[in-house]
Structure 1
Amino acid sequence: TPEETNPNFVKKLKKWKVDSHQLVNTIYRLTENTRIQARAATEIYEQLQYVEERGWQKEDEKVFSEAVEKLRRLAVFGYEVAKAQEDEAREETTKALKLPYSLKHMESSPKGDKKYVFDQDFV
């Protein structure tokens, strides 16, 4: 479930000054993670497209099984990267709002298609 900043913290977060170098490096890191996923997806697509264009043959079972395993690993990687990015965003939010470090683990429960950084009971 995607996270977003609790609405009552937005105004205070907008006042926080960010080191441009840190921000740019974060964007580059996110871009690299996206490229890794795109490369893997492209490789799987090309394998399956080759099988489709040529027509299914007995030896394609192995190609198909390998593609399924690659898709599984790609999905796991994507979810792990997203979780790490959310953790980093929560840590930066905690730092910007000058909250105690122990509060960074107070995640909220999903409501709809998103959840807030901090539990509503805390807010």
Structure 2
Amino acid sequence: MNEFNYIQLSDEQKEQLYQEFKLRARIEEEAREGEFDIPEEILENLDNTSKGELKTQFKRYHKSLPQYKRGTWTSAETINKCFHADLKRDNLDSYQVVCRDYRHSEKLRTAATAATEIYEELSSLIDGENHVLINALEKARRLAVFAFANAKFIDQEAKELAAKALKLPPNIRNFAEEEETDKILAFSSEKVEQVHKARFEQSLLRNASRSGYSNRGGFQQRGRGSQPFRNSFKGSFSGQKSFFGRGNSTQSNFRNQSTATLPSPAQQD
């Protein structure tokens, strides 16, 4: 016999259960489709608090949290001290590090969004409606799972980066090549144009510097006497003035050598 046959629900309980599921479905649908403003109580703290004060508040907040213990899910991971010197000598890929940091900030924003949602629902408990408390508890559970899991994912990413720096066989990771236009870019289009312009000007200066060095002492000298090797080579075989003497020096040397080496008629006898 099916175990659910033992559950006896009154019509009122069935209606209450139906309304509960209906409310959950509506809340989840609104969360997927809608956009909401940050509550004023949260926004005021973000806008009117200095960076140093926020860091101090975060330290106090971290200490005030309960200490849960569950192995690698709750314990932070760190690199062994014996590898610190090797990691400091390694040159990291700036693009990879920047992308990693942006991914981390996106995860933290997701956690902050979930926490804000919980705050708004807890604020409505003044009405004393139990279904709001049930939804708030469920979302708190989801936030805990999300935060703990992403903390372990971040540890894994740091481990992979360390393995690459230590010249260990790295894991293959895919990076999105497409630029996501729905996110706020670190550099505006005007700033990107300025960067490209500065790079172009730097390349022109480098090319001009190399060209100036070649004109002063390289193989591309200009002006009088700029091609001594070519002139000497040409003069040696064409009878023109060479680097070592006056015209037809090669032909004269050839005749002298021929006269000196041929025996006279008297010597032949």
Same fold (TM over 0.5): yes
Render the CA deviation track for 1:7-54: whole Å, top value 9, x for unaligned.
111111011111111111111100000000001001101110222xxx
**Mapping for residues 13-52 of structure 1, pairs under 5 Å:** 13-51=87-125
Deviation at 1:56, TM superposition (A): 4.6
**Mapping for residues 1-123 of structure 1, pairs under 5 Å:** 1-51=75-125, 55-57=126-128, 60-100=129-169
Root-mean-square deviation (CA, aligned residues, Å) is 1.6
Q: What percent of counterpart residues are identical?
A: 45
Deviation at 1:82, TM superposition (A): 1.0
Match of 1:86, SS state, is helix
Relative to the length of structure 2, the TM-score reads: 0.34
Render the CA deviation track for 1:76-121: whole Å, top value 9, x for unaligned.
11111111111111111112112356xxxxxxxxxxxxxxxxxxxx
One-letter identity of the residue aligned with 2:76: P
- Distance across 2 between alignment mates of 1:89 and 1:78: 17
Residue pair 2:124, 2:132 contacting (<8 A) in 1 also: no
- Distance across 2 between alignment mates of 1:90 and 1:27: 15
- Distance across 2 between alignment mates of 1:90 and 1:21: 17
Name stretches of at least 5 consecutive residues in structure 1 with no aligned partner.
102-123
Residue pair 2:87, 2:162 contacting (<8 A) in 1 also: yes
Relative to the length of structure 1, the TM-score reads: 0.73
- Distance across 1 between alignment mates of 2:112 and 2:121: 14
Task: With a CA cutoff of 8 Å and minimum separation of 6, indicate the structure with the bigger relative contact order.
Answer: 1
Name stretches of at least 5 consecutive residues in structure 2 with no aligned partner.
1-74, 171-269
Aligned residues: 97
